[in-house]
Amino acid sequence: MDETVAEFFRRTILKIPITEMMTVLKAWDFLSENHLQTVNFRQRKESLVQDLVLLCEEKRASLNDAALLDIIYTQFHRHQKVWDVFQMSRRPGEDIDLFDMEQFKSSFKKILQRALKNVTVSFRDTEENAVWIRIAWGTQYRKPNQYKPVYVVYYSQTPYAFVASSLLKSNLPLLGQALTVASKHHQIVKMDLRSRYLDSLKAIVFKQYNQNFETHNSTTPLQERSLGLDINIVDSRIIHENRVEKERIQRVTQEIFGDYPQPRLEFAQYKLETKFKSDLNRGILAEREEPLRCLVKFSSPHLLEALKSLAPAGIADAPLSPLLTCIPNKGMNYFKIRDK
């Protein structure tokens, strides 16, 4: 085996945590049960990795097998990447042929290889008619860099693709073109939606987030079901003076956010390009023709749940600004706000 490939194997296997090693290797399915039994999984990680690499060499594993292992690792650790969402469209009135996955894959690969001689493209099919694509970019004169790949998850029955790129932005137009042509679309547009949580992005884009899977006990009064803040007092010596207002807030919050768990986003960003408005007649910032440039960013481990709990916690008034509540509906978490 080529030294670079062996090194690539070593580094990829080294990334996998010991607790997941068996699961990942089984999913990879390149080394059979018998092979795996010959390896001692209780030794130190470096020695284990060495043994596994030797085993791969014996079995004549190729670069493609290594790339496939890398895809599987990323599928298990999809939260380590930041995913952008792209939407493709067809010309109005264009006929939609039946989608052929194999044709898509070969077409995609050909387009990239025609443009850039040095590129490694690997595919892995998953459920829901989706395919994970891994692309390692090179240049005219350099071999592909296996350590900075781009991942694309394309749902073939939809016009959406999710892209996790490392820092190389220059190849994105080519990637977009390859995706569009291979999937028989006309145009590709980047949506203003980005997050680490691929499943949440899927839920937002495919409008699947508003499904409540728990059995709904509709006889329970509104107060007890919502948000963990118990209005039904445990102790009857505690009296809430603003009970009516609290119930209103709970109701409004439930109308806007629903009963279901919110999709997970880490931030929302608002770019303001509006003129500064001030009550005072004089002021340095007032009376300027140019818009005031300002960026407001909300970050949270779980932004939408945090927004949902703002009004019940007393930090904000209900209903919240529509700029905040429209995020899952519009499928955006980057906004540009201009004067009307």
Q: Cβ 3 to other proteins, closest distance in Å?
A: 50
Quick check: 18 binds other proteins (CB under 8 A)? no
Q: What is the dihedral of CA 32, 34, 37, 39, to 10 degrees?
A: -70
Q: Cβ 314 to other proteins, closest distance in Å?
A: 4
Q: Cβ 246 to other proteins, closest distance in Å?
A: 8
Q: Cβ 261 to other proteins, closest distance in Å?
A: 20
315-334 residues in contact with other proteins (CB under 8 A) are 315
- Asked if 270 and 322 count as a contact pair (C-beta separation under 8 A), the reply is no
Please say which residue, 19 or 236, places its beta carbon nearer to other proteins.
Answer: 236
Laid out side by side, the sheet with 130-137 consists of 119-126, 130-137, 150-155, 160-164, 83-89, 187-195
**CB under 8 A: which stretch of 45-53, 106-114, 217-225, 310-318 binds other proteins?**
310-318
- Asked if 243 and 268 count as a contact pair (C-beta separation under 8 A), the reply is no
**CB under 8 A: which stretch of 9-17, 115-123, 253-261, 312-320 binds other proteins?**
312-320
Q: Cβ 241 to other proteins, closest distance in Å?
A: 4
Q: Cβ 248 to other proteins, closest distance in Å?
A: 12
Please say which residue, 106 or 242, places its beta carbon nearer to other proteins.
Answer: 242
171-230 residues in contact with other proteins (CB under 8 A) are 229
> For strand 334-338 and strand 267-274, is the pairing parallel, antiparallel, or unpaired?
parallel
> In 3-state terms, what secondary structure has residue 108?
helix
Q: Cβ 299 to other proteins, closest distance in Å?
A: 15
131: which strand partners? 125, 154
**CB under 8 A: which stretch of 86-94, 183-191, 306-314, 329-337 binds other proteins?**
306-314
Q: How many residues bind other proteins (CB under 8 A)?
A: 15
Please say which residue, 105 or 246, places its beta carbon nearer to other proteins.
Answer: 246
Q: Cβ 244 to other proteins, closest distance in Å?
A: 7
Please say which residue, 273 or 317, places its beta carbon nearer to other proteins.
Answer: 317
Please say which residue, 298 or 335, places its beta carbon nearer to other proteins.
Answer: 298
Question: Which helix (H) or strand (E) element contains residue 126?
Answer: strand 119-126
Answer for which of 313, 321, 322, 338 binds other proteins (CB under 8 A) is: 313
Answer for which of 147, 314, 322, 336 binds other proteins (CB under 8 A) is: 314
Please say which residue, 93 or 228, places its beta carbon nearer to other proteins.
Answer: 228
Burial 7-21 (b: 16+ CB within 10 A, else e): ebbbebbeebeeeeb
- What is the spatial distance between Cα 179 and Cα 53, in angstroms, rounded to a whole number? 34
262-281 residues in contact with other proteins (CB under 8 A) are none
DSSP 169-186: -TTHHHHHHHHHHHTT-S
Comparing CA positions, the residue from 189, 142, 207 lying closest to residue 168 is 142
**CB under 8 A: which stretch of 78-86, 143-151, 188-196, 309-317 binds other proteins?**
309-317
219-258 residues in contact with other proteins (CB under 8 A) are 229, 235, 237-242, 244-246
Comparing CA positions, the residue from 2, 132, 137 lying closest to residue 69 is 132
- Asked if 179 and 161 count as a contact pair (C-beta separation under 8 A), the reply is yes
Q: Cβ 230 to other proteins, closest distance in Å?
A: 8
- What is the spatial distance between Cα 268 and Cα 323, in angstroms, rounded to a whole number? 10
- What is the spatial distance between Cα 180 and Cα 178, in angstroms, rounded to a whole number? 6
- What is the spatial distance between Cα 254 and Cα 224, in angstroms, rounded to a whole number? 12
The binding site for other proteins (CB under 8 A) comprises 229, 235, 237-242, 244-246, 312-315
